[in-house]
Homo-oligomer: A and B are copies of this chain.
Amino acid sequence: MQLAERMKVIRGSVIRDVAVEIANRDNPNLIKLSGGLPDEKFFPMKELEEAAKKIFADEALFGEALQYGLTKGDTELINLIIERLNRNEGMNITFDNIIICTGCQQGISMTCTALLNDGQTILIEKPSYLDGLNAALPYSPNIVGVETDEYGIRIDKLEEALNEHPDTRLIYVIPNFQNPTGKAWPLERRKEFLELLKKYPQVNVLEDNPYGEIRFRGEHVPCLKALDTTGQVVYLGSFSKIMAPGLRIAYIVSDSKELIDRIEEIKEGLDLQCNQFSQVHVREYMKMYDLDEHVKKLCGVYKERCDALIEMMENEFPVGVTFTIPDGGLFLYVTCPEDFDTGKMLKDALDAEVSYIPGASFNADGSGKNTMRLNFSANDIPALKEGIRRLAGVFKAEMAKRQ
């Protein structure tokens, strides 16, 4: 079958490819530090069951949950999200500023359709969740990585990139507990970032914030959207990491009513609307329970796991291997000695029954070959410890080869 020209540049997710490779091993003893999954044991199952039972008990409500709804999303759910964003994130948004979408991924996709001309440049942190930008591939974007330091994207390098690529249309950033590094930009860096952006009014920022609420250390730092005074920031939030990803409920926020309205038109063409049952389900959950309380509990669990992972790495990893120490989220990032190739080493790791995501998949230029992403949300502490023990063994064997 003759495919469209654009299919030459469309590719699958590198991370999902690794997941398939792991799945093909079909090894129940494998400890997966590669995934990005929240732990299903901490989904609010009992509460979601009760919310569902409330729906089942009311024929009109159940009918509504199974019927077609609005493309923009369920009105009452939207209002609950607005209230929460204004309260917790310090936003000041109204019904005009938001639309429901199928995960942050659809938020990236629809924002690119609305804003990005074919071939224009997208800047992205180096490393970052590059797979997310597969959403832009139908428009043949020029994806350029910008250097980061321990505080996030480097403002001097960003300015250089903006000047070198005057066709830059979007900057895709994850300022909170980034995928893959787990880093959060401090307030000062956020302010500098937005200050620089004022000089480039034709550029929009796509702030992807699925992990922001999973802060288990330090003070809350306002998101870019809350600090933005020019309306340049388009914000993506999600229930995937704080409630359950299978429900696929997320949202796009923008000061521009025009953008939101036009994205609604895009969504009509894409899939008419999100799953109605899950919208009503999440809405009824939010009316019956305190989601913030649930998130607090989740943060406690993930903190313990992160701390256990860090302690184990400190004890087990050989000299020359370093790692980030995140204040939240699901991931941290390991840097091996320069001459390591974590892509090639994955086979040895799988043989040793532990997995990770090789770092090159997070870099637009394929660099970061000596890095890897580890996840601490999906496994309990004993499994995390055993996983690190195995991984340390792989590192030591790799080092021994070099001597």
Q: Which of A59, A136, A272 has the most CB of B within 10 A?
A: A272
Min Cβ gap A24→B in Å is 13
Contact of A275 among B135, B247, B262 (CB under 8 A): B247
State whether the Cβ of A114 lies closer than 8 Å to any Cβ in chain B.
yes
Q: Is the interface of A mostly helix, strand, loop or mixed?
A: helix
Given A1-B256, A1-B259, A246-B275, does the pair A269, B115 have CB atoms closer than 8 Å?
no
Contact call B273/A248, Cβ cutoff below 8 A: yes
Contact call A116/B4, Cβ cutoff below 8 A: yes
Interface bits A90-116 vs B (CB < 8 Å: 1, else 0): 000000000001110110010001111
Interface bits A130-150 vs B (CB < 8 Å: 1, else 0): 010011111100000000000
Q: A38-46, A77-85, A350-358: which one contacts chain B?
A: A38-46
State whether the Cβ of A277 lies closer than 8 Å to any Cβ in chain B.
yes
Contact call B66/A48, Cβ cutoff below 8 A: yes
Q: A7-15, A289-297, A334-342: which one contacts chain B?
A: A7-15
Contact call A115/B4, Cβ cutoff below 8 A: yes
Contact call A117/B4, Cβ cutoff below 8 A: yes
State whether the Cβ of A276 lies closer than 8 Å to any Cβ in chain B.
yes
Contact of A3 among B11, B16, B259, B271 (CB under 8 A): B259
Interface bits A180-214 vs B (CB < 8 Å: 1, else 0): 00000000000000000000001010000000000
Could you give 8 example pairs across A and B, Cβ below 8 Å? A68-B245, A102-B271, A102-B274, A102-B275, A138-B266, A138-B269, A248-B275, A248-B276
Q: Which residues of A contact B (CB under 8 A)?
A: 1-7, 10-13, 16, 36-38, 40-41, 43, 45, 48-49, 52, 56, 59, 62-69, 71, 101-103, 105-106, 109, 113-117, 131, 134-139, 202, 204, 231, 244-248, 254, 256, 258-259, 262, 264-266, 268-278, 281
